[in-house]
Structure formats: C-alpha cells, structure tokens
C-alpha cells in the first residue's frame, strides 16, 4: 500500500487523513487548547455551529487518533472505491453530522472520527455480509452486530462513560441507511 496509490484511488480518504493528522500534530506539539475551537461542545452552540463537522477531525490522544485512522485507511479507502469519491464524501459527512447531532441532543461534548468510522464499518461489512474477512472465519455481518450490541450494553449499563456510544450508533445507522441508498451503484473493487 503506497501513499501515491492511496492518493490516486482514494483521494477523499487521503484528504480526511491529512486534515486529522495536521490537527493531531498541532494538538500534540502545542497546547491542545489551541484546537479547542474545533471541538463540539453544547455550551458553545450556536456560535460554533461549524463544530458539528470539525469535531470529527479532532483527536488529542494517540490511541484515539490511531484507532480512528486505522478504520479510515483500511476500511474507508475500500468504501470510497466501492461508491466513488463524491458519495463517500457524502457518507462520511453525514456520519460525522449524525454523531455531532447526537452529541447536541444528549447535551454533551465530543471529538473524533469514530461516528464516521462506525458508519464506514457498518457500510462495508453490511455490504458484504456473508464474506468471511474477520478473524475466526466469521461472516462480515458479525462485526456490525457486535458493535451494535457492545454500544447498547455500554449505554444501558453506563460503561466507559468517556466513549461516545450514542454518536457511534448514530454514525453506524447512517452508514447502514447510506448502504441502502447507494447499494445499486456499487463499483467493482
């Protein structure tokens, strides 16, 4: 996997990665407060309306950045090839927006690409539900079901409170809805 190949075949994935990387580097090399204006906080709306989208590119902790970027690069690029760059941009934008909207509705704050990451995971693994690309030769449909169950259990039992389970679910639902809409126009990958 060469960077030039990713840029050519998955340009939107590359752009999303680059934006996230630049913001992450700024947060790590300076004070994270320098990027706070991009994070979504209910208390700063409607003045900072743009944070409904920009929060999706903000990561402060290395594990958070790495996990989200692994999903973006290893799943997002295949989704982009499957549906094309324009639809992929729309899918990702809607997943981030859904995650941000859920943050606003629940009166919290948040950062990160994970709502979009869930949307991409749901899209890809539900698009090929019976393919066996997971560990233990499990069918792909197992991953979205497992992510859904873990998120619902975490919400019900108030587990891992710092994790945005509701934005994850919002992104996953939007990914599944977009699959229903875009499915007939899939490209060969």
- Read off the pLDDT of each residue in 139-166 and give the average, rounded to a whole number: 90
Q: Give the pLDDT band of residue 1 (cuts 50, 70, 90).
A: low
Count structural domains, the chain.
1
Residue 41 bridge partners (DSSP): 109
Can you give the CATH number for the domain in which 67 is found?
Answer: 1.20.1540.10
For all residues of the chain together, what is the average pLDDT?
Answer: 92
Is the pTM of the predicted complex or chain greater than 0.85?
A: yes
Contacts for 188 with CB less than 8 Å, ≥ 6 apart: none
Contacts for 49 with CB less than 8 Å, ≥ 6 apart: none
Q: Which residue has the tokens 């999903």?
A: 71
Containing structural domain, residue 164: 3-185
**Residues 93, 99: Cα–Cα separation, whole Å:** 10
CA 18 to chain centre: 15
Using left for φ > 0, alpha for ψ between -120 and 50, and beta otherwise, residue 112 falls in: left
**Residues 164, 186: Cα–Cα separation, whole Å:** 30
Could you tell me what percent of the chain has a pLDDT over 70? 98
The H-assigned helical ranges of 30-131 are 51-54, 62-71, 77-83, 85-105, 114-127
């Amino acid at each position: 996997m060469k960077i030039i190949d990713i840029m050519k075949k998955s340009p939107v994935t590359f752009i999303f990665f680059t934006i996230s990387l630049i913001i992450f580097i700024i947060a790590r090399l300076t004070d994270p407060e320098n990027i706070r204006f991009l994070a979504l906080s209910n208390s700063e709306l409607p003045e900072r309306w743009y944070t409904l989208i920009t929060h999706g590119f903000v990561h402060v902790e290395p594990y958070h950045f790495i996990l989200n970027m692994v999903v973006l690069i290893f799943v997002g690029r295949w989704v982009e090839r499957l549906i094309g760059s324009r639809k992929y941009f729309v899918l990702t934008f809607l997943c981030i927006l859904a995650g941000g909207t859920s943050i606003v509705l629940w009166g919290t704050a948040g950062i990160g690409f994970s709502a979009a990451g869930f949307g991409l995971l749901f899209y890809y693994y539900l698009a090929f539900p019976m393919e066996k690309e997971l560990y233990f030769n499990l069918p792909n449909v197992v991953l979205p079901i497992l992510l859904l169950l873990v998120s619902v259990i975490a919400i019900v039992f108030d587990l891992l409170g710092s994790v945005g389970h509701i934005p994850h679910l919002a992104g996953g639902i939007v990914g599944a809805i977009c699959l229903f809409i875009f499915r007939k126009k899939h490209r060969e990958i």
